[in-house]
Structure 1
Amino acid sequence: METLFVLFTAAAATSAYLVWFYLLARQLTGPKVWPVVGSLPLLFLNRRRIHDWISGNLRAMGGTATYQTCTICIPFFARRQGFYTVTCHPRNIEHILRTRFDNYPKGPTWQTAFHDLLGQGIFNSDGDTWLIQRKTAALEFTTRTLRQAMARWVNRTIKTRLWRILEKASEHNIPIDLQDLLLRLTFDNICGLTFGKDPETLSPDLPENPFAIAFDSATEATLQRLLYPGFLWRLKKLFNIGAELKLEKSLQIVENYMSDALTARKETPSDDLLSRFMKKRDVDGNLFPNAILKRIALNFVLAGRDTSSVALSWFFWSVMNNKHVEEKIVSEITTVLREARGENPRAWVEEPLSFDEADRLVYLKAALAETLRLYPSVPEDFKYVVSDDVFPDGTRVPAGSTVTYSIYSVGRMKSVWGEDCLEFKPERWLSAGLDRFEPPKDGYRFVAFNAGPRTCLGKDLAYLQMKSVASAVLLRYRLSPVPGHRVEQKMSLTLFMKNGLRVYLRPRVLA
């Protein structure tokens, strides 16, 4: 009798669950879901092409460019922790980033995962903590002295290191991993700009730097926290095993390096960001404590290294596959240098471009923007939903769930960028006379630098650094991919190339 009762209860519970699941699945508009595991199987199967998979799902939705799915199909969880709304509709993105900004913070999942590495730095905080850092940084990023400091670091790195490495590779016909060089270059530059300390990872022998290695390791281990249920990484942290053990060791190296940098800045302040923040005060009128200063600096290093280097890697890849674009870029650079430095081509390559010269490169900026449209450095971004809401397209978003806006997908939607959206076409960023850079009137069609209150403060400096580096390479060399080398996306929060970007360099003859 008891066995019969248990079977009956199990059957009733199963039937009730299946009815509940059927009603849930009918409301979801995204990829197919299964009981309990939801859309996780499809997510796993497409993990190596996740961004293109998301784009395909969004295109299948037609004009709404929004879908909803669930990864935990269990009552009480399905509508909150396991519920995802994915969109690339510009109006919805504006709603998230500007109109209802306060309703879509980074949220507890993101902040908890990144806390050990970034603390309450500007890229891992919300509310007043974020606002005071944002206001302080905004004042500094508008100063000419910071622009001059950035120009000094970039030009020195190009002249004394990058050119020497490229020259050797060209002379001996040795292939190089351009992505690796660019990562090293932007890492040295952002460290110099942030706390005035050059790790010199971009040197002729390409040394392994303990801080750079530890920083990479800590970032990778932190990202793993977002890929798995929270209880799993907390369990690993409790027993100090796996990725959490790796993270703890890496963070100790990072902490020691940052402590030394802070001590040096306190003894001899300079024009770097850390020195500037040391003079600022928090919401209570107190100077920032050392622990906060170190995390603020790390936040800027994380933001300033990967984004620019990744964008440059995809830029060079796109240019190699569109030779007509390359010729236009080189023609523009030589025209500017002819006016600024005279007719002698030797004078054009003696020094890297100054930021004032780089400012005049309109077509190059358009090519960089076009790269970021198709290959945004941060392809997807996630937000936590504080309270129930309705998107402009009518989609209902439940409190406690997650919203993903796909920056990668926006640039690949015909409804947003036209029938030629998959073509690499810098001209779409230029005025009718092709002499002026013109971003889209609807700013939320292009959010590679974020938008709304969290718009990237370093956007202009990033463009100038990328233009300087791109000019320094293309003015001296023609690039060609190593035969057989596969360029594909690495599945991470930043759009790295999984196998790097291996190229040969041939000297360019200027006339």
Structure 2
Amino acid sequence: MEREPTTATNFLFSATQWMYIHSSLWDVSLALLGLFVFRCINERLTNKGPMLWPVLGILPTMFLHINDMYNFVTRALSRAGGTFHHKGMWMGGAYGIATADPSNVAYMLKTNFKNFPKGKYFRDRFRDLLGDGIFNADDELWREQRQVVKAEMHSSRFIEHSLQTMQDLLHQKLLKLTEKLVKSGDSFDLQEVLLRFTFDNICTAAFGVDPGCLALDFPEVPFAKAFEKATELTLFRFLIPPFIWKPMKFFGIGYEKALKEAVGIVHDFAEKTVKGRRDEARKHGSLCHQSDLLSRLIEIENTGQGKKLQFPDKYFRDLCVNFILAGRDTTSVALAWFFWLVHSNPEVENRILREINDILSLRETQTKNEIIFTMEELNKMVYLHAALSESLRLYPSVPIEMKEVAEDDVLPDGSIVKKGARVFYCIFSMGRMDSIWGQNCLEFKPERWIRDGKFVSENQFNYAVFNAGPRLCLGKKFAYMQMKMVAASILLRYSVKVIEGHDASPKMTTTLYMKNGLLVTLMPRLVNV
């Protein structure tokens, strides 16, 4: 078949056709661009919170503010009137609201508690690290664990044991270590020292094992580093869609490989701890001479008191990991922020010292090295209690919590939440809302907690630092006892000076670590007791 010869007419037609197609594509592109811009503007106008991008959702906005996340969220919540909607990457399945409204928090944590569990979304991401432990459990599994643990933690035997182990660790290790650091004249990371103290303390009090983190030679502790790494890497699962992180986990690549290795070290420590305690129980036939939490629970099992709960090794392993998470990170980080705030507010430090010395004046004369605070003396430290509470208001150890919606619901502020939505309540932001704390909400003022010389607790839904409702922290009393003893003992002996120019900014992780630690020097304080 002969080809039709190319003519000028054919050429002109082809050129005209090409220009028409090109023009049409350009029109479609402009239309899509206009739709994209419209969507962005519409999301911005209707949501009143951070920009929700097409396809990527809130992720680009979050990554742009990753180094100042908590303050950014606080500003966004303030602009939005306390609540804004969010959604994650397309196909990622993440959507819901963020809120700092106390009425919403009360509704979720108490009024309609059953409709706002931890949820599958949270449990799936933390299951590798926390297993089915109390902080990662819901419904009957959570209820049974809490009932058993609460009975033991609130017993006079455990409280006395906790106080004794705390006093021993403080005076036999922590104060000896600080004295060594003072003599060297060098600056050091106080947050790191406090993390070592609380790790040894929770392991000794709860599991009867002293890991030796506070030895004078400052030993490297693989478990402690692995634990911190595991919590940080787990956080990535909240930022990356499951269709990305789950294959990474399956093939053991990227950060999921590092997470698996860190979790392996953590679980190995916990399993050895459980095995050691079980071996001791078999050897002696009983652990009635032991007062740590793990021993008491094993003793309940051995004596047949655990009728509903027969504790497998995995239960105890998960218990260890969950309690170390609660006891190591939270109080140590809270104390670091407390010392930083006290350094910046010398009038608060002076009032704390006056209170301590007034309490000690009732004693017979003692040297500072002989002073071991009793429970009665700690209970009298009203202003110190207020200062610690105020520090936690501004820098809560757990800055953000999350709940998953079991069934469609409407929150008190009118926000509609659908089944499967994730509700983030921002404790860090709540402490900075003038609608809750007044115009001076950004000021460090322990006096706001005191009325007629007595400490006055704030409504737990305005101040969800220790959670609230049925999940109110079981270790709250232990935490205050520990923080007051450490703070009073150090301030009595030393003046804590933060290194000039040190950047104390929050780190983006599950616990409100200081990103660069807390570099300080300690100066001996003249004490008149």
1:489 aligns to 2:501 (yes or no): no
- 2:63 corresponding residue in structure 1: 44
1:242 aligns to 2:259 (yes or no): no
Mapping of residues 410-425 of structure 1, within 5 Å: 410-425=430-445
Check whether the contact 2:102–2:462 (CA below 8 A) recurs between aligned residues: yes
Check whether the contact 1:69–1:83 (CA below 8 A) recurs between aligned residues: yes
Question: Paired residue for 1:288, among 311, 314, 317?
Answer: 311
Check whether the contact 1:215–1:250 (CA below 8 A) recurs between aligned residues: yes
3-state DSSP of counterpart to 2:324: helix
Check whether the contact 1:355–1:468 (CA below 8 A) recurs between aligned residues: no
Are the structure 2 counterparts of residues 100 and 16 from structure 1 closer, same or farther at C-alpha, using a change threshold of 3 Å? farther
Query: How many residues align structurally?
Result: 498
Cα deviations across residues 445-494 of structure 1 (Å, max 9, x unaligned)? 11100000100010011000000000110000011111232211111111
Check whether the contact 2:430–2:462 (CA below 8 A) recurs between aligned residues: yes
Check whether the contact 2:59–2:239 (CA below 8 A) recurs between aligned residues: no
- 1:135 corresponding residue in structure 2: 147
- 1:444 corresponding residue in structure 2: 461
Cα displacement (A) at 1:407:
0.4
Cα displacement (A) at 1:285:
2.3
3-state DSSP of counterpart to 1:478: strand
3-state DSSP of counterpart to 2:211: coil
Gaps of 5+ in 2: 1-16, 282-286
The percent identity for this pair of structures is 41
- 2:170 corresponding residue in structure 1: 158
What is the CA–CA distance in structure 2 between the aligned matches of 1:222 and 1:212, rounded to whole Å?
Answer: 16
1:173 aligns to 2:192 (yes or no): no
Check whether the contact 1:195–1:272 (CA below 8 A) recurs between aligned residues: yes
Cα displacement (A) at 1:282:
11
- 2:448 corresponding residue in structure 1: 428
Check whether the contact 2:115–2:405 (CA below 8 A) recurs between aligned residues: yes
3-state DSSP of counterpart to 1:381: strand
- 1:459 corresponding residue in structure 2: 476
Question: Paired residue for 2:47, among 24, 28, 46?
Answer: 28
Check whether the contact 1:132–1:282 (CA below 8 A) recurs between aligned residues: no
Mapping of residues 244-323 of structure 1, within 5 Å: 244-266=256-278, 267-268=280-281, 269=287, 270-278=290-298, 279-280=300-301, 285-323=308-346
- 2:232 corresponding residue in structure 1: 220
Cα deviations across residues 121-148 of structure 1 (Å, max 9, x unaligned)? 0000101000001111111121111111
Cα deviations across residues 401-452 of structure 1 (Å, max 9, x unaligned)? 1111110111111111011111100011111x22x11012x33111100000
Question: Paired residue for 1:58, among 55, 63, 77?
Answer: 77
Check whether the contact 1:480–1:505 (CA below 8 A) recurs between aligned residues: yes
Cα displacement (A) at 1:251:
2.8
Write the letter of the residue equivalent to 1:488. Answer: S
Write the letter of the residue equivalent to 2:155. Answer: T
Moved more, 355-364 or 17-26: 17-26
Cα displacement (A) at 1:219:
2.4
Write the letter of the residue equivalent to 1:131. Answer: R
Cα deviations across residues 101-121 of structure 1 (Å, max 9, x unaligned)? 111111112101111111110
3-state DSSP of counterpart to 2:419: coil
Are the structure 2 counterparts of residues 475 and 12 from structure 1 closer, same or farther at C-alpha, using a change threshold of 3 Å? closer
3-state DSSP of counterpart to 1:443: coil
- 1:188 corresponding residue in structure 2: 200
Cα displacement (A) at 1:165:
1.6
Check whether the contact 1:215–1:254 (CA below 8 A) recurs between aligned residues: yes
What is the CA–CA distance in structure 1 between the aligned matches of 2:191 and 2:33, rounded to whole Å?
Answer: 54
Check whether the contact 1:191–1:301 (CA below 8 A) recurs between aligned residues: yes
Question: Paired residue for 1:375, among 395, 399, 417?
Answer: 395
- 1:359 corresponding residue in structure 2: 379
Write the letter of the residue equivalent to 1:288. Answer: F
Cα deviations across residues 133-173 of structure 1 (Å, max 9, x unaligned)? 11111111211111111112211111111111211222232
3-state DSSP of counterpart to 2:209: coil
Cα displacement (A) at 1:353:
1.3
Check whether the contact 1:414–1:420 (CA below 8 A) recurs between aligned residues: yes
1:394 aligns to 2:417 (yes or no): no
What is the CA–CA distance in structure 2 between the aligned matches of 1:293 and 1:392, rounded to whole Å?
Answer: 39
TM-score (norm 1): 0.91
3-state DSSP of counterpart to 2:497: strand
- 2:3 corresponding residue in structure 1: none
3-state DSSP of counterpart to 1:134: helix
What is the CA–CA distance in structure 2 between the aligned matches of 1:9 and 1:290, rounded to whole Å?
Answer: 66
Cα displacement (A) at 1:21:
7.5
3-state DSSP of counterpart to 1:105: coil
Cα deviations across residues 37-92 of structure 1 (Å, max 9, x unaligned)? 2332221111111110011011113xx411113333x5xx5xx9232311111111
Check whether the contact 1:81–1:402 (CA below 8 A) recurs between aligned residues: no
Check whether the contact 2:65–2:72 (CA below 8 A) recurs between aligned residues: yes
What is the CA–CA distance in structure 2 between the aligned matches of 1:357 and 1:209, rounded to whole Å?
Answer: 34
Q: Tell which structure's C-alpha radius of gyration is larger.
A: 2
- 1:498 corresponding residue in structure 2: 515
Mapping of residues 44-123 of structure 1, within 5 Å: 44-61=63-80, 64-72=81-89, 74=90, 81-123=93-135
Check whether the contact 1:479–1:503 (CA below 8 A) recurs between aligned residues: yes
Cα deviations across residues 349-389 of structure 1 (Å, max 9, x unaligned)? 41431223211111100000000000000111111111111
What is the CA–CA distance in structure 1 between the aligned matches of 2:230 and 2:436, rounded to whole Å?
Answer: 37
What is the CA–CA distance in structure 1 between the aligned matches of 2:61 and 2:235, rounded to whole Å?
Answer: 21
TM-score (norm 2): 0.88
Write the letter of the residue equivalent to 2:214. Answer: L
1:326 aligns to 2:352 (yes or no): no
Are the structure 2 counterparts of residues 265 and 9 from structure 1 closer, same or farther at C-alpha, using a change threshold of 3 Å? farther
Check whether the contact 1:88–1:407 (CA below 8 A) recurs between aligned residues: yes
